[in-house]
Amino acid sequence: MKKIITYGTFDLIHTGHINILRRAKEYGDYLVVAISTDEFNALKGKKAYYSFEQRKAILEAIRYVDEVIPEHNWEQKVEDVKKHAIDVFVMGDDWKGDFDFLQDQCEVIYLPRTAGISTTQIKKDLNRTNNG
């Protein structure tokens, strides 16, 4: 079985998220998604609309996702790749080059993002509408 992993906050699920999960799953048989915990988001200066548990439940309901694990810190990626016997590490191409250090452990693939949609833009649009 070929295993894939990807990381993210996965807040306010949109078609861009679905596209990256679908395309990641095409690289193997089993997709592990590591999502940032609320505590890790706070360290990054981010606040998700949905809690970790809510985001986890949403991701577990998506047919491309086989397993959801917590991401506690930046450094855990090497450990996750080993622990979960990962063959392919997938991230959006806005991270291109940032995870090449994993190439000793597994294949690293950067996928193009879905044009015209992002959680940041959705939050800005909603904020503009509500403050309108």
Name residue, tokens 């949609």: 117
What pTM, to 2 d.p., does this model score?
0.88
The residues annotated as belonging to the active site are 44, 46
Give the tens place of pLDDT for each residue, 41-86. Answer: 999 998 898 999 999 999 999 999 999 999 999 999 999 999 999 9
Strands lying side by side in the sheet with 107-111: 67-71, 30-36, 3-8, 88-92, 107-111
Nearest CA-CA partner of 92 in 105, 78, 109, 80: 109
- The pLDDT of residue 92 is 92
DSSP class of residue 25? H
Confidence of residue 130 (pLDDT cuts 50, 70, 90): low
Nearest CA-CA partner of 122 in 29, 19, 45, 15: 15
Q: Is the pLDDT of residue 103 over 90?
A: yes
Q: How far apart are the first and last CA of the chain?
A: 51
Nearest CA-CA partner of 24 in 70, 66, 75, 76: 66
Share of the chain above pLDDT 70, in %: 87
